[in-house]
Structure 1
Amino acid sequence: MKKFVLSLFILSFVFLLAACGGEESSESESTEKADKSVQIEATNFKFDQEEYTVKAGEPVNIEFTSAEGMHGLMIPELNVNIEGDGTKTITPEEPGEYEIRCSIPCGTGHAEMQATLIVQ
């Protein structure tokens, strides 16, 4: 009987250790090091700038803060979606203009809450 209880205890301990190992996040995080950052701040129904400019082919941190109200940031063509305050590292390869929008319905001015990311 003691061997059974000991075996059960050891087996439980092994399962506990395996569960604590954790899993990788389903959302891939960039491992690139970005020397450049773009700070984007949202207040009710607007971003702090109409345009933000970055260079093509260079990693950049998109650092988003919501100073007033509840907002998010998305750049659909670059696979960026930050809900609440956060940072995402991207490396835009194609020059062009990319629409920045609020990703959280924030009230009557939500539809007009837009800016542009210019990749040169």
Structure 2
Amino acid sequence: MRIVGLFLLTGALTLGLAACGGTDEATTAPKDKTVETSTTADGNEFTITANNWEFSSDKELVVKKGTKVKINLVNKEGMHTINNKELGIDLTANAPSEFTAEKTGEYELKCSTVCGAAEDHEAMKITLKVID
């Protein structure tokens, strides 16, 4: 019975660590620390790149109130998602999130796929600031 429990625990730990440890595509390029941004007549579009235990930017994303926003997610390393319940963001690498920034404030966009140790996973966040 102990062997079965040990086997199940080992399997669960392996799967949990694989969420951030795997890769969608092989890459040896240096980690990009910027967010790809484009502004159109209709609004702003951001592309956030996720690597193991970090998003591609250490700065906040800024948009004006009333602006249409589109956020794309690219997983360079591991499998990550981004969410913010207040803004209605539930973002995966295959489905961008679009919304209108209707309320000013600072919103934390967090990785919602548990990956790695708690302190590493908790560090996976980026700020979206909506200004007047």
TM-score scaled by length of structure 1: 0.67
The residue number in structure 2 matching 1:87 is 96
Deviation at 1:83, TM superposition (A): 2.7
Identity score, percent? 35
Runs of 4+ residues over 3 Å off in structure 1: none
Task: Flag the structure with larger Rg.
Answer: 1
Alignment equivalent of 2:123, drawn from 96, 112, 115: 112
Deviation at 1:100, TM superposition (A): 0.7
Aligned length: 88
TM-score scaled by length of structure 2: 0.61
Contact 2:114 2:121 in 1 (8 A): yes
With over 3 angstroms needed to count, the CA separation of the structure-2 counterparts of 1:112 and 1:76, relative to structure 1, is same
Alignment equivalent of 2:86, drawn from 77, 80, 100: 77
Task: State the alpha-carbon separation in 1 of the partners of residues 90 and 96 from structure 2.
Answer: 10
Structure 1 vs Structure 2 CA RMSD: 1.7
Query: Gapped runs of 5+ residues in structure 1?
Result: 1-32
Show the 5 A alignment for 1:1-120: 34-50=42-58, 51-108=60-117, 109-120=120-131
